[in-house]
């Protein structure tokens, strides 16, 4: 359970799992109560010119090992049938049956009994709007806390963060809130793109966008380059977080980069369990 890793942390407020959903600024309180036994958070579901999950085949196969059925969350794309068929074929080839939530009359009940979830990528605003509309954030949190394995790609990974504020997407629809699952005490940025030093493009670089995020929020952001992922698991000493995969871009210095307020970005690889001790502070403008 986060917040008890190594037993060194101070208690961080009331248990949100038993006293209701926390307001956004209190999202860290929920995180203390949100153990994730197993999660696989892919930056992207497919590399350029390769099939779904091919770049992460071993990690995905290990994740679904022993799982009879994966529940698929398809709402980041508009065509749920087509999306479910594609994901069903790719995950099905690794063993489990795949059922898509859009086809179920009672998605919350299905989530309650799920062995594993896979949340597909696409537009984060659309995905988050539907999860709020159907009131599925709490059922997912509760299922994950009980041991349901959580996996996602891109938007599906990003929503393991406390909020969707570090998405790269356009707001094509309006969710009632930017709050997401809060399975992690920090933010992800997927498809992380390094600035091209030879570019004359005048729009914001990813780094600049994240610097703007840090002008308003004091929350670490882990940028996962394409081809990489973050894996969470439990060990006798507590939760373990590991960066896996390899950046697709030959120019990338490593798989992942961490941006924090007031600090130079740092390259990260391998065991990053210490990140699970982060204390996110949203809506904390830099003074």
- 159 scored as a contact of ligand ASP (CB under 6 A): no
**Piece of the chain touching ligand ASP by CB under 6 A; list 7-15, 167-175, 244-252, 278-286:** 167-175
- 154 scored as a contact of ligand ASP (CB under 6 A): yes
Q: Contact 260/220 with Cβ under 8 angstroms?
A: yes
Tokens (6 digits) for 282: 């949203």
> Shortest CA distance to 54 belongs to which of 92, 90, 98?
90
Q: Is 191 a catalytic residue?
A: yes
Q: Contact 27/17 with Cβ under 8 angstroms?
A: no
- Max intra-chain CA distance, the chain: 53
| 3-class secondary-structure state, position 118 | strand
Terminal CA-to-CA distance of the chain, rounded, Å?
33
Q: Is 169 a catalytic residue?
A: yes
- Least Å distance, CB 278 to ligand ASP, is 20
d(CA 228, CA 43): 6
Q: Is 154 a catalytic residue?
A: yes
Q: What angle do CA 31, 34, 35 make, to 5 degrees?
A: 125
Tell me which H or E stretch contains 93.
none
Set 102, 132, 191, 279: catalytic member: 191
Length of the chain: 287
Which residue's CB is nearer to ligand ASP, number 16 or number 183? 183
> Shortest CA distance to 199 belongs to which of 255, 251, 264?
251
For ligand ASP, which residue of 155, 210, 252, 278 counts as binding (CB under 6 A)? 155
Q: What angle do CA 203, 121, 220 make, to 5 degrees?
A: 60
- Least Å distance, CB 1 to ligand ASP, is 28
Which residue's CB is nearer to ligand ASP, number 161 or number 273? 161
- Least Å distance, CB 32 to ligand ASP, is 26
The site map against ligand ASP for 68-107 (x = CB under 6 A) is: --------x-------------------------------
The site map against ligand ASP for 187-226 (x = CB under 6 A) is: ---xx-----------------------------------
Which residue's CB is nearer to ligand ASP, number 46 or number 239? 46
Return residues touching ligand ASP (CB under 6 A): 76, 121-122, 124, 154-155, 158, 167-169, 190-191
Catalytic residues: 154, 169, 191
């Amino acid at each position: 359970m986060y917040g008890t890793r190594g037993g060194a942390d101070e208690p961080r407020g009331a248990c949100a799992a038993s006293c209701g959903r926390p307001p956004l600024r209190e999202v860290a309180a929920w995180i203390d109560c949100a153990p994730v036994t197993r999660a696989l958070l892919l930056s992207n579901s497919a590399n350029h010119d390769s099939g779904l999950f091919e770049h992460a085949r071993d990690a995905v196969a290990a994740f679904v090992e022993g799982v009879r059925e994966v529940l698929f969350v398809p709402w980041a794309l508009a065509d749920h049938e087509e999306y479910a068929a594609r994901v069903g074929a790719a995950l099905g080839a690794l063993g489990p049956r795949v059922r898509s939530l859009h086809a179920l009359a009672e998605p919350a009940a299905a989530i309650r009994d799920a062995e594993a979830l896979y949340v597909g990528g696409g537009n984060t605003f659309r995905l988050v709007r539907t999860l709020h509309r159907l009131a599925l954030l709490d059922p997912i949190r509760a299922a994950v806390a009980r041991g349901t394995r959580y996996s996602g790609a891109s938007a599906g990974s990003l929503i393991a963060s406390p909020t969707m504020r570090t998405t790269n997407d356009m707001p094509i629809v309006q969710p009632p809130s930017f709050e997401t699952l809060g399975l992690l005490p920090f933010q992800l940025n997927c498809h992380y793109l390094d600035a091209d030093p030879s570019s004359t493009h005048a729009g914001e670089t990813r780094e600049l966008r994240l610097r703007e995020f840090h002008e308003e929020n004091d929350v670490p952001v882990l940028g996962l380059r394409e081809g990489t992922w973050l894996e969470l698991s439990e060990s006798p000493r507590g939760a373990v977080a590991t960066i896996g995969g390899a950046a697709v871009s030959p120019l990338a210095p490593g798989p992942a980069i961490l941006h924090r307020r007031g600090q130079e970005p740092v390259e990260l690889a391998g065991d990053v369990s210490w990140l699970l001790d982060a204390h996110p502070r949203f809506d904390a403008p830099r003074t």
